[in-house]
A = this chain, B = another copy of it.
Amino acid sequence: MTTAIPAGFAGRLDTRTSEREAFLRDETGLPGRTPRGVIRARSADDVVACVRWAGTAGIPVIPVGARTSLEGHLLARGDEVMLDVSSMDDIVSIDPADFVAVVQPGVTRKQLAAALVPHGLQFPVDPGADATLGGMAATNASGTTTFRYGGMRRNVLALTAVTADGEIHRFGRAVAKSSSGYDLKDLLIGSAGTLAAITELTLRLHPVPEAQGSARLSFPDVAAAVAAATDLIGSAVPVSRLEFVDSASIAALNRFCGDGLPPGPALFIDVEATSAAAMAEVLDDVDAIARVHGVVSVGRAQTATERTALWDNRHRLFPAIKAAHPGHQFLVTDTAVPYSAIAGAVDHAHRTAAELGLRVTTAGHVGDGNVHVVVPYSGGTLPRALAFSDAMVEYALSVGGTASGEHGIGLAKKKYLAAEHGSACDVMAAVKQALDPRNLFNPGKILDP
């Protein structure tokens, strides 16, 4: 381990205005401030040196990767230095026999996926964006396959990280399970760079299923779609993706893609099986459950080409919504609720939107109770969009849910933390104080100050 700050390390700080101003804005549209500068780390030693240099100088540090955060995790609030680890993008090892890969934090999801193809393996966490694995760990990312495979906590076995004292530590072990010591690995996952800077991740890989099939199921109403989803969850049918899309989303997709999808809310589903024959049977099981709930149209896809075509619609949802609202920005809610409250949450979204005069679309990872409402807004309607977000979070918390299913808290959702966690926020603050007493790491994110 390095033990000192290399002479001249401060010279690594890129303070050009253009470089600093690149960090002024992110996906949230929230106002950021111009950071002091950017340090581009190329190794764990660089990260150690940067944290020690910053600690000595008393300058806070924000670790950044692909900057796909949706919650303002990476906006400077004052004089921070951006610690850019996106060039630490080596896939250190892929070990098919142990179902493990070791990566640097700047490796992106798609980069890893491509490297795993020859091994017939996958890293299943897919937040949509081509985020870095470090950023995905920092936000505890998940996505469409989380219902089947879990999110980052389940699929990161170990990580190395530099704490505020400039020491590098390994948290966790490269084994399927361990009950040794305090679970600091999972504490760092989701901590948004506020406790340490991640320098390496050890990931759990999974086999690609022998056969996968997909279905698009259209229902007369939201309640029927959600009831079918809940029955699927309870049926033990091997569902690997279970996505909900409301009728407003379907309308936007039909305008954008012209595929003439049946109107009405839909479920997009993937199932897994050990053979093509078994797959057909599993899809029959899905159909049978959907029929109980009055499914009005079933699209089935069994070949790779058919599956790509079916999912293309779901994947083009955000572009379709963007096309429908030129000149707008977009707020995306991220609440997760108990299954029994999903239909209520969707209903609440549409009624609240009507009251506020907003046009919203709803989609979500229904298998996880995670409801995303996309709210287009412009300068004039931002206050109403924020009021909408408040209403969705208030509803989620009232039924025992969470303000963030998968995007994290960052700056944008920080105001909901106390309502969700109550006095546990004090314990969170005690942990932050213990690990980062000088508030060196990404200050003001998740917790004040």
Contacts and interface: CB of A to CB of B under 8 A. Distances in A.
A74 B235 CA distance: 40
A177 B406 CA distance: 7
Given A173-B402, A179-B402, A180-B420, 9 more contacts: A169-B424, A176-B369, A177-B336, A178-B405, A180-B402, A184-B431, A186-B186, A275-B285, A431-B435
A408 B180 CA distance: 6
Contacts of A49: none
Contacts of A154: 150, 154
Contacts of A230: 97
A287 to B, nearest CB: 13
A237 to B, nearest CB: 6
A218 interface: no
A190 interface: yes
26 contacts: A100-B338, A140-B179, A141-B179, A142-B179, A153-B153, A169-B424, A171-B421, A174-B400, A175-B401, A176-B336, A176-B367, A176-B370, A179-B404, A179-B406, A180-B408, A180-B409, A184-B187, A184-B424, A207-B234, A210-B236, A236-B274, A278-B278, A278-B281, A427-B435, A431-B435, A433-B434
Interface string A351-374: 000000000000000011110000
A325 to B, nearest CB: 26
Nearest to A234: B207
A395 interface: no
A248 interface: no
Given A170-B424, A184-B424, A281-B274, A340 B177 contact: no
Contact of A177 (B142, B187, B277, B428): B142
Interface residues of A, number: 100
Given A187-B186, A235-B207, A179 B408 contact: yes
A346 to B, nearest CB: 16
A390 to B, nearest CB: 15
Interface in A231-251: 233-238
A409 B181 contact: yes
A427 B97 CA distance: 32
Nearest to A339: B98
A190 B186 CA distance: 12
A238 B206 CA distance: 13
A256 interface: no
B274 A285 contact: yes
Contacts of A95: 338, 340
B153 A183 contact: yes
A407 interface: yes
